[in-house]
Chain A
């Protein structure tokens, strides 16, 4: 293979992998990513939507991504709950989770406000909890 042709092919690979530089940095896609995932400052205060199980005594238990969204991917579960809350579909999501939980168990869709640094470093409780839906299996 002529040297110039080899260099052309390698140059093409470089052009392809660096092509995301022509897009805005947060304009992500697959497989040619701009890799923005760890680049921005998220701050410490976050509203994180989730689904918990409510016990008979009123206490709550964390559920797995599998029970929340039918996936073992936590990020996908987070996006599923956030979108359901934002799209006014918290009741539907609650019913889906309750059906996965089974007979006699209650689910609650809620948004928790946390200082995430305090939570991870010291186990601090949420600053507030906003309940969107609560249900049992129909």
Chain B
């Protein structure tokens, strides 16, 4: 029963996040309606496009995706809401990435939704094996993305990444670009750059967290400690680069590694205590 409830809570968290994100970001997802066709630079599953998609198609996808994701989060009609949410999310985010700039904040959401979509065809059972594969697959996807980010630093910059200069230039460039293009930059970046000795240890720590991600598959305390360090990493990125990874910052991206089914037990416990304390619960009949 444990893994089935873990699956259900993960489905609610991940699909719920996708529903809220696509609803809140709908205006940005519709921005391409106003872009000049010359700016189209299709990527990933939309690499075949040689012209923008029809406006009505984009509008339909932006409307349908949060609805499908909300239904999936609630566990309603998951045989169609699962695939619809996964395909819709993949489409609207890929299309948003097809105008000259790749964003890296929704990759893990898209991958987790794909697993939820596949799992929707797997019959729910009351034993531990029911959808355990999906929980484990999502955990592997989470650690895989962090591990890849760490490996990329080694593949591209080697040990040079560790002395802090690469990090100094990344933080400075990202904040400078925000200032020059009229966006909000980090109020702490200047302070960090003036205390440059901090950047070497910060660079080593960030690569270690990324490369150590597979250890979190050991579960238990190891996973909890690693998730805590990963959260700290994302808060530091937000503080010093003003870059928001909401899926990770909220802990949802890390949730497949944690015993989230206890969240349900805790909430049920609170609800029970509230009912016991409520005067209406003592009324007869």
Contacts and interface: CB of A to CB of B under 8 A. Distances in A.
Interface of A: 1, 5-6, 9-10, 12-14, 16-18, 20-21, 25-26, 28-44, 46, 48, 50, 62-65, 67-68, 70-81, 83, 112, 114, 116-117, 119-123
A121 B149 contact: no
A116 B169 contact: yes
Contacts of A81: 181
- Identify the interface centre among B35, B104, B122: most chain A CB within 10 Å of its CB: B104
B181 A39 contact: no
Interface string B90-124: 10011001011111101100110001000000100
Contacts of B185: 120
A80 B97 CA distance: 13
Given A34-B152, A65-B181, A40 B173 contact: no
Contacts, number: 196
Q: How large is the interface on B (under 10, 10 to 19, 20 to 34, 35 or more residues)?
A: 35 or more
16 contacts: A6-B132, A10-B136, A10-B140, A13-B140, A16-B111, A25-B156, A35-B104, A38-B149, A39-B166, A40-B156, A70-B35, A73-B28, A117-B168, A117-B193, A120-B175, A120-B190
Contact of B136 (A6, A46, A71, A79): A6
Contacts of B156: 25-26, 36, 39-40
Contacts of B130: 1
Interface string B240-279: 0000000000000000000000000000000000000000
B51 interface: no
Contact of A17 (B28, B145, B170, B175): B145
B129 A1 contact: yes
Contacts of B193: 117, 120-121
Contact of B179 (A1, A20, A34, A120): A120
Contacts of B145: 17, 33, 35
B177 interface: yes
B178 interface: yes
Contacts of A121: 172, 190, 193-194
B61 to A, nearest CB: 16
Contacts of B134: 9
Nearest to A63: B182
A21 B154 CA distance: 12
Interface in B135-194: 136-138, 140-141, 144-145, 147-149, 151-153, 155-157, 160-161, 165-173, 175-183, 185, 189-190, 193-194
B223 to A, nearest CB: 16
B153 A30 contact: no
B241 to A, nearest CB: 9
B211 interface: no
B137 A10 contact: yes
Contact of B177 (A12, A48, A70): A48
Interface in B37-53: 39, 43-44, 47
B99 A112 contact: no
